Structure 1
C-alpha cells in the first residue's frame, strides 16, 4: 500500500531476489510504502528491511531515515519510532534498518513505514521481514554455561613423584579480572583528601574507572586557551597508582550544547586546525595513561562537527588523528539507545561496519546502558547485544545504571543483566555510571548510600558479584603423584604455597583461555621451596 507517494518495481537495482520497490513522488515526511500485519499482545517483534537512497536534499551530505510503526491498540493508532539511521549517505548503498517493538495490551495490528524529513528524497526498499522474538525460558542456564566456557579456564597443580609433601597446600588468590568491572568517578573527589572514604571505596571495589566530566573539552576549556589539565591528570594518576585502569571520556562530543561555545565563530579551516591541536595537546599529556578513548561521543545523536566542518566523515578523521598520536590506545564509538532502546542499535552496527570498510582504527563500541528495571526484557536485551555485535567489534557497557526505588527488585535485575553481559562473547567490560547517592546524577540509580557509602540491596548484590561470585579463591592440600584440577576466572593471580599453614613461597601468574598447568618443584634451600615450574 502506498501512502501519498508513488510505488514502482525496479529489477535493475535490488538487494535480493528479482525486484526492489522504488518510492518516489513523496508529499510528506511519512509518505511511504506500508504493509499491515496482525500482532499478538505481549509479544516482541523485529522489523527489518534494506533501504537505498537514490538522492539527497540539495546541498546536503546525509539525511536521517526513520523506521516508524503505526500500532493499532483498542482501535486507536499509536505511532512510535523503532529505528533511526541519522547520518545516512548515498555512498552507503543498500543499508539495513531494523528494530524491535512490544505489542502492548490491546494491540491487534502493526503497520511499519519509512520517514524521511525531506520529501524530495527517493529511495529503494527490499528484503522486508517481520519476526516474532521468541522468549527463551532457559536463558539463565545457557548464560551460566557460556560463562564457564568463556570466562574461566582450567588450572592444575601437581608434585613430582617421591616428594615429601606432608602438610603442603596451595592457595589461589585472584587479584584482577580479565573482564573489566568499573565505575564513573568524580575527578575532584579522587584527589581531595576530605573524600578519602570515597577514594578507598573505589580502590577496593572496582578495577576500572572513567572520569565523568573532567576530560570533556567543553569542561576543560570553557575559555579558549585556558585549559585545566591538572584536574583530570591528577585523578588519573591517583587511580593508576592503585592499579585502576582508566578510560578516556571523551575527546570530542558533537551534541550542540556540549561543544565548546568559542568554537562556533571559527571558519572551517580554523576549526579543523583547532581540533587537531586539541588532540595533540591532550594526547601529549595522557599518552600511556589511558586504556581507551571515546572519540566523538554520541555521534549518532549530534552532528555539530559534521555541520561545521562540512565533512560528513569527520568522525573517521578524528579516529585517525588520535591513532596517529597514540597507536596503542583503543578507540571507541560510544552511544545511547543501543541496548536500552532499539532506535540506534542497527545504526551503530552499520556505522561500525562502514568504519571497518574504510580502514578506520576503531577497536570497540561503547554501549550506554541506562535502564528502568520495570522495562527490562532479557530476551530483547540479548537480541540487541547480538545485533550490534554483528559489526565484529568488542562491546563495552560504558554507562550502566538501573533506576528503581525498590532495592530488592533492583538487586534481582542487576544480577540478571550483569549475568547476561558477563556471558556475552562480545562484551569485554561493564562500567557503572556512578554508584553512590552522594555523587550521582539520578538518586534512584545509586547502589550505595549515606556518608559511609553503605550498600542497599542492589549494592550488596554488586559486592557479592565482584568479590565472590565472579572471583576465584581456592585452597587445596596436595599430594605426590596426584594432580589437583580446578578452574578459575581469567585474570591475574597470586599463588601461595604453604607448609603446615605457613607461607613458604609466592608466585604471580596470569590465567588466559589456554589454562595453566603448574608443577610445584620442592627443591629445598634456606628459604624452603625455591622452584615453582609452570607447564
Structure 2
C-alpha cells in the first residue's frame, strides 16, 4: 500500500522581502492527481520532483499519520500533520516561525513502517511579519467590513452639503465574548464591565450535567436560568455548554456506578431535560464535548453514541447549531488526536447518520505558554474551512507566562482575521478566587494587560466614533465593520438641525453588492 502526500509549509520569517499574497486554499480530500505546489514551490528546490531526487534524500519507509518537522541546529520544529489516505494524494498544510537564518532539514515522519510514503509538489513559502499583518488586514477588509455610502437629505429631499456626521458603533456584528459564571449574578461591577463589551457568552459550569443534576432526578437550573435572563436583557447570545461531556473525570459523581442500561436511562433524562428547557434560546450546543479525546459513553453505550446524541438534540431543538467541541486542533498539538484532518473525519462521521444535521466546528484553543505557531494555526484553519462547516473559537486563552498578553493578542488577531471564523469566545470567566488560566480584570474590575488587549482590539474592530463630512451632493463613503451604529448629523449653517439615526451594517447579501447605500433624511 502506498501513501502519497502533498505538502505546503508556511514560514513566518523575520526578514524583509517583496510583498507576497497568502493562499488560504486547502483540502483533505483524496486527489487522483497531485495539485500544483502553492507559490510554485516557494523556496523549495525541485518542488515537483521533476528533476529526480535532486536536493532530496530517500529515507526508510513510513506510515500514516505523517508529521512534517523542520530540524534546525537547536531543535525540531513541528510544522504540520495529516492522516494520509492510501492510493490517492493527500495534502499536508502547516507552517512554523523561523527565528534563525541557517540551512535546515525538512523531515516527514510517522510511527510505523508498514507503508511507503511518496511526496510530491512541495511548497515552502516565507512571509515577513509585515506581510503577515498585511494578510490579516486584507482579509478583514473583505470578511469583516463593508463599504457604506450615506446620503444626507433635508426635509425637502435636498442634499445636505458639508454636514458633520458622527458614526458610532453600538454593537459589534462579529460575535465576540467571554465565558461567565454565577459570580456575575451578584456583582454589579462585573455586570457593567461585561455587558459593555461582549455580544456572546458561554456559561463556565452552570449548564454542565454535574451542576444540573447533583443527584439522580434532583435538578438545579437556578444559576443557569438567572444567567440566561441576564444575557437576554443585554442582548448577549449564549452557547450551550454542554449537553454531555465524554471525559470520565467530569461526570456527576453518581454516574460511575450505573450499569449500561441505567446509564442510558440517565443520559436520556439529561438530554431531554436540558435541551427541552433551553430549546430555541441558544445559538449553539456543545453536544458530546471533547469526544475526539475521550469516549466514556461510547465505551459503555456503543460506538454510535455520539451520532445518536446529535440526532436526538437536533430532533428536540432543530434550529440550533450543533458543535463538535474539542482542543489541540490549532494549538500545535503533536498527539494527533484532534488534528484538523481527524477533526473533519469525526464531524463527517457524525454527519453521515443525518446529512441535515446543522453541524459546526468548535475549537477550544487553550494555547500553551510558548509563542503561538501562527503559521500552523492559519494552515489548520484553512484545512478545517475546506470542509464547509461554520468554525468558532469557543474557549480561547493562553497559559500564564511573562508575555501572556502579547501572545494573547497575536492569537486573537489571527483568529479574527481568518475568513473561516464565525465567532470568538474567550475562556476568561472572572472569579474572586482566580480564573481558569487567564483573567482580563482584577477583583476591582480594572483591566489587566490582557483586558487592555481586548479593549484595544474592540476599538480597532469598530467600537469607536468616526467623524467626517458630506460632499456637495450630501454623500459620504466609508468602510465600516459589520454591526449596529448610531449616526448623528448636524449642519454648520442650520444650527438647530441635528438628527440621530440608527443603522445596521450587514455582510454582503446574496446579490454580492459591495456597497451598502443608506439615505438619511433630516
Query: Does the TM-score normalized on the shorter chain lie above 0.5?
Result: yes
Deviation of residue 436 (structure 1)?
A: 4.6
* Partner of residue 216, structure 2: 224
Task: Work out the CA distance in 2 between the residues paired with 1:316 and 1:459.
Answer: 39
Structure 1 unpaired stretches of 5+: 1-7, 19-36, 41-48, 52-65, 117-122, 522-528, 530-535
Residues 486 and 82 of structure 1: CA distance in aligned 2, closer, same or farther (over 3 Å): closer
**Bigger Cα displacement from structure 2, 226-235 vs 464-473:** 464-473
Matches within 5 A, 1:289-300: 289-300=281-292
* Partner of residue 491, structure 1: 483
Deviation of residue 512 (structure 1)?
A: 2.5
Kindly indicate whether residue 518 of structure 2 is the aligned counterpart of residue 518 of structure 1: yes
Task: Work out the CA distance in 2 between the residues paired with 1:298 and 1:387.
Answer: 20
Matches within 5 A, 1:61-140: 110=107, 112-114=109-111, 133-137=124-128, 138-140=131-133
Deviation of residue 207 (structure 1)?
A: 1.5
- SS of alignment partner, residue 290 of structure 1: coil
* Partner of residue 183, structure 2: 189
Deviation of residue 180 (structure 1)?
A: 1.1
Task: Work out the CA distance in 2 between the residues paired with 1:81 and 1:380.
Answer: 7
Partner deviation per Cα, 1:68-106 (whole Å, 9 max, x = no partner): 789989899x99997697xx9x9x999969686879999
* Partner of residue 386, structure 1: 382
Residues 206 and 79 of structure 1: CA distance in aligned 2, closer, same or farther (over 3 Å): closer
Residues 389 and 434 of structure 1: CA distance in aligned 2, closer, same or farther (over 3 Å): same
Kindly indicate whether residue 234 of structure 2 is the aligned counterpart of residue 242 of structure 1: yes
* Partner of residue 137, structure 2: 144
Deviation of residue 223 (structure 1)?
A: 1.2
8 A contact 1:39–1:109 mirrored in 2? no
Structure 2 unpaired stretches of 5+: 4-29, 34-53
Deviation of residue 234 (structure 1)?
A: 0.8
* Partner of residue 27, structure 1: none
Residues 238 and 9 of structure 1: CA distance in aligned 2, closer, same or farther (over 3 Å): closer
Residues 104 and 125 of structure 1: CA distance in aligned 2, closer, same or farther (over 3 Å): farther
Matches within 5 A, 1:143-292: 143-159=136-152, 163=158, 165=160, 168-186=163-181, 188-192=182-186, 195-292=187-284
Partner deviation per Cα, 1:313-359 (whole Å, 9 max, x = no partner): 22122111111111111110111010112432221122223334441
1:465 to 454, 457, 461: 457
1:337 to 304, 328, 338: 328
* Partner of residue 317, structure 2: 326
Bigger Rg, which one: 1
Deviation of residue 265 (structure 1)?
A: 4.2
Number of aligned residue pairs: give it.
453
Residues 412 and 327 of structure 1: CA distance in aligned 2, closer, same or farther (over 3 Å): same
Normalised TM-score (structure 2): 0.75
8 A contact 2:359–2:389 mirrored in 1? yes
Residues 334 and 501 of structure 1: CA distance in aligned 2, closer, same or farther (over 3 Å): farther
Partner deviation per Cα, 1:369-413 (whole Å, 9 max, x = no partner): 12235331221221121122222111111111123442xx43433
Partner deviation per Cα, 1:414-438 (whole Å, 9 max, x = no partner): 3332221111111011111116574
Deviation of residue 263 (structure 1)?
A: 3.2
1:423 to 412, 417, 421: 417
Task: Work out the CA distance in 1 between the residues paired with 2:366 and 2:275.
Answer: 29
Deviation of residue 144 (structure 1)?
A: 0.3
8 A contact 1:50–1:127 mirrored in 2? no
Residues 68 and 428 of structure 1: CA distance in aligned 2, closer, same or farther (over 3 Å): closer
1:400 to 393, 396, 403: 396
Task: Work out the CA distance in 2 between the residues paired with 1:472 and 1:264.
Answer: 52
8 A contact 2:151–2:159 mirrored in 1? no
8 A contact 1:491–1:512 mirrored in 2? no
Residues 110 and 507 of structure 1: CA distance in aligned 2, closer, same or farther (over 3 Å): closer
Residues 468 and 104 of structure 1: CA distance in aligned 2, closer, same or farther (over 3 Å): closer
- SS of alignment partner, residue 183 of structure 2: coil
Task: Work out the CA distance in 1 between the residues paired with 2:464 and 2:326.
Answer: 33
Normalised TM-score (structure 1): 0.73
* Partner of residue 374, structure 1: 370
Residues 84 and 256 of structure 1: CA distance in aligned 2, closer, same or farther (over 3 Å): farther
* Partner of residue 54, structure 1: none
Task: Work out the CA distance in 2 between the residues paired with 1:307 and 1:94.
Answer: 33
Task: Work out the CA distance in 2 between the residues paired with 1:73 and 1:156.
Answer: 52
Task: Work out the CA distance in 1 between the residues paired with 2:330 and 2:194.
Answer: 26
Q: Which has the higher contact order (CA 8 A, sep 6+)?
A: 2
- SS of alignment partner, residue 219 of structure 2: coil
Task: Work out the CA distance in 1 between the residues paired with 2:466 and 2:441.
Answer: 29
Kindly indicate whether residue 428 of structure 2 is the aligned counterpart of residue 434 of structure 1: yes
Task: Work out the CA distance in 2 between the residues paired with 1:286 and 1:250.
Answer: 12
- RMSD, aligned CA: 4.0
Deviation of residue 473 (structure 1)?
A: 2.7
Partner deviation per Cα, 1:115-150 (whole Å, 9 max, x = no partner): 69xxxxxx8666556956533211111110110111
- SS of alignment partner, residue 184 of structure 2: coil
Q: Which has the higher strand share?
A: 1
Residues 306 and 97 of structure 1: CA distance in aligned 2, closer, same or farther (over 3 Å): farther
**Bigger Cα displacement from structure 2, 155-164 vs 347-356:** 155-164
